[in-house]
Amino acid sequence: NAGVTQTPKFRILKIGQSMTLQCAQDMNHNYMYWYRQDPGMGLKLIYYSVGAGITDKGEVPNGYNVSRSTTEDFPLRLELAAPSQTSVYFCASSYPAEEAFFGQGTRLTVV
């Protein structure tokens, strides 16, 4: 069972560069989420989606964009990377009112 797959696992970006963090799930979950986790801190919700074609902002959406063209995929786009975006990014998916399944994370450093 693949579950939630995130790529890449690690990435170093220069300030001002852009990139897309990929997330795919094979559990047919309606809901998908992107979180960031700074060192020694909790999880902050960036964006979430309740189904294909529907996305909404979380707590910390500035500097990020998402799309949800299919049930399986929920990519997170960083435009004009900034040092403040250095973090570990987690994608998760769930059924309504059920526990979320998380990917292994993408460790991003912006220098």
Partner 1 sequence: GESVGLHLPTLSVQEGDNSIINCAYSNSASDYFIWYKQESGKGPQFIIDIRSNMDKRQGQRVTVLLNKTVKHLSLQIAATQPGDSAVYFCAENSGGYQKVTFGIGTKLQVIP
Tokens of 36: 């960031």
Number of residues near partner 1 (by CB under 8 A): 27
Paired residues of 49 in beta bridges = 32
Closest approach, Cβ 20 to partner 1, in A, equals 19
Closest approach, Cβ 17 to partner 1, in A, equals 25
Stretch that binds partner 1, among 12-20, 21-29, 71-79, 86-94 (CB under 8 A): 86-94
- List the interface residues with partner 1, window 29-68 (CB under 8 A): 31, 33, 35, 40-45, 48, 50, 56, 58-59
Q: Torsions phi, psi of 84, nearest 5?
A: -65, -15
Please tell me the distance from the alpha carbon of residue 48 to that of residue 31, in angstroms, as a whole number: 7
Closest approach, Cβ 77 to partner 1, in A, equals 20
Per CB under 8 A, 100 contacts partner 1: yes
Sign of the dihedral defined by the CA atoms of residues 23, 49, 13, 43, in that order: negative
CB of 25 closer than 8 Å to CB of 32: yes
Binder among 21, 25, 81, 103 for partner 1 (CB under 8 A)? 103
